[in-house]
Structure formats: structure tokens, C-alpha cells
Amino acid sequence: MHIAITVRNMGPQSSLGILSECAREAETAGFESLWITDHIAIPPDDSEGSNGRYLDPLVTLGFLAGITRRIKLGTGVLILPYRPALPTAKQIATLQELSAGRLLLGAGIGWMDAEFRALGLDRRQRGADSDAVLEFLNRCFASDTVSANGQEFLFRPKPGRPPIYIGGAAKNALPRAVAHDAGWMPMGIEPHRLAGDIEHYHQLCAEADSKPRGITVLRGLPLEDRQSALEIVDGYRQLGVERLVCACRYDNAEEFSIQAAALAELLF
């Protein structure tokens, strides 16, 4: 099972110096990948912890790709209905190309009412809009020539499609993952609660004659209780989870380094 870590692209911790140092530290410590999140328009009354400051995830990962060499780069998750399909596909392909294939694309449908209002979008359509973006992405990565709005065009660069992981609750996320040749990215679910959902995912894949694409779990670990943390990690391993993304909270690069070192000592 791969071990990954979150890096904050929000709040004061997303300054150039702190972000750069944390990314390099994550790579040096041996984590398989680093993951960042996505918000685009935080309202003033919901800005605690970030003060409304969020760096764009794809631009941020493009920057981090340039200052790292090995570590993979994940979105946990990119909110699909916020973005037009074609420019987003171009950004994803460009990032995948220039990072030498290091992108891991966590994707979700979003939830924050205020952001949908700020974008002038109908929140009730977010599932259908997300499916449309995913379908378009798959078409772009499957063929050099793509058609949109009645116009054919060449989709290049066309590196290999990054792995896609659908975020969200199992009820809706698993059918969406199977429909779009993607894995699943649950957040904070304990191993004993995850087993049935993973079995259901494999069942859906078998019914659709498609290959399971892996499970990436994002959650924090109780580092103050070494035994409990190890039991949680072992539980995910026994379930065949592909990747555990360890969520970190920190105020500065030194605190991040301490947490990363503790996780590495515990899990590597």
C-alpha cells in the first residue's frame, strides 16, 4: 500500500516558502505522493482556518511538479462542475505531460452552496455536469481527434491518462467510478466500515466487465497512539487499499517536517 501525505494549499500555510519546503520535505521523506484540495470561492462566514485563501489546485501542482522530481501529485479532489470540460482537459493533459506522468486525479462533484452560487451554477446539476466532464476527459485521452460542439480538433499533448479517483460517498461515487473507468477516494472511513463498500465496488466492476482501479483513502492518523495508528493502517492493507493519504494540519514548515518524519518512522 502506498503512503501519501497532504500539503496545505490554503491559508497562510500556502505561502510560496512554506508550500515549497513542505513539498520538498514530503519527497525527501519518501512519501509516494502529495495531495492538495480545491475550493474556489469561500464565503466570509465560512473562512475559518483559511481566511478564504485557496491556491488553484492544477496551477499549484504544476508549480510543485517543477520543484520536485519523483513524488506524485494528487488532487483531493478537483471539483469537476466548477470547470469547463475542454480547458480543464487541456490543463490536466499539460500537467500530466510536464510532470512526466506524476498526476493522480481525485475528482468530485462538490457540495458548497456558496461556491455554486458564485459561479452561477445549478448545484442540482452537479452530478450530471461531473459525468459530462469525465466522459469528455476519457474521450480526449483515448483519441488524437476529438469532437466538441460539432467541431473536430486535435487533442495534444496526449500523454497517458492519469489515474482517476472519484471522491464521495459510496452510494453515488462507486457507480460513477465504474462508469468512467476510475477508482474511489473515500475520506475518513474506518477500515471496518469500508469492507462492504469495497466488495460492492468489485461487484459493480464485475457486472460491468471492467477492471477495478483501486481505492485511495484520505484520513488523519492518531500519531499520539502508535498502536492504534498501526492497527488502522494494517486494516486498510488487509482490505487491499491501494493508497493511504495521511492528512496533516500544521502552521509552518517545521511542524510539517515533524509530522512527516513521525509518519515516515511509523509507516515506512
pLDDT tens digits for range 75-116: 999 999 999 999 999 999 999 999 999 999 999 999 999 999
What integer best gives the mean pLDDT of the chain? 97
Cell of 105: 486525479
**Residue at 181: amino acid letter:** D
SS3 79: strand
User: Average of pLDDT values for 23-32?
Assistant: 98
19 Cβ contact list (under 8 Å, min separation 6): 7, 8, 9, 13, 55, 60, 64
User: Average of pLDDT values for 132-154?
Assistant: 97
Report pLDDT for 77. Answer: 98
Residues in the chain: 268
SS3 73: strand
CA 225 to chain centre: 27
Q: How sure is the predictor about 138, in pLDDT bands with cuts at 50, 70 and 90?
A: very high
For cell 517545521, name the residue. 254
**Residue at 152: amino acid letter:** E
Report pLDDT for 143. Answer: 94
Q: What is the pLDDT of residues 181-215, one digit of tens each?
A: 999 999 999 999 999 999 999 999 999 999 999 99
Report pLDDT for 132. Answer: 98
Report pLDDT for 160. Answer: 97
Cell of 225: 497512539
SS3 144: coil
Q: What is the dihedral of CA 251, 257, 260, 265, to 10 degrees?
A: -140
95 Cβ contact list (under 8 Å, min separation 6): 58, 61, 62, 65, 73, 103
Q: For residues 4 and 263, is the Cβ–Cβ distance under 8 A?
A: no
Report pLDDT for 193. Answer: 96
- With CA atoms as reference, report the closest residue to 188 among 234, 219, 233, 229: 219
Report pLDDT for 166. Answer: 98
- With CA atoms as reference, report the closest residue to 149 among 86, 91, 80, 81: 86
Phi-psi region of 182 (alpha: psi -120 to 50; beta: other; left: phi over 0): beta
- With CA atoms as reference, report the closest residue to 216 among 198, 234, 193: 198
Domains delineated in the chain = 2-267 (3.20.20.30)
Cell of 155: 487533442
Alpha-carbon span 175 to 179, nearest angstrom: 6
Q: What is the pLDDT of residues 211-227, one digit of tens each?
A: 999 999 999 999 999 99
205 Cβ contact list (under 8 Å, min separation 6): 178, 211, 212
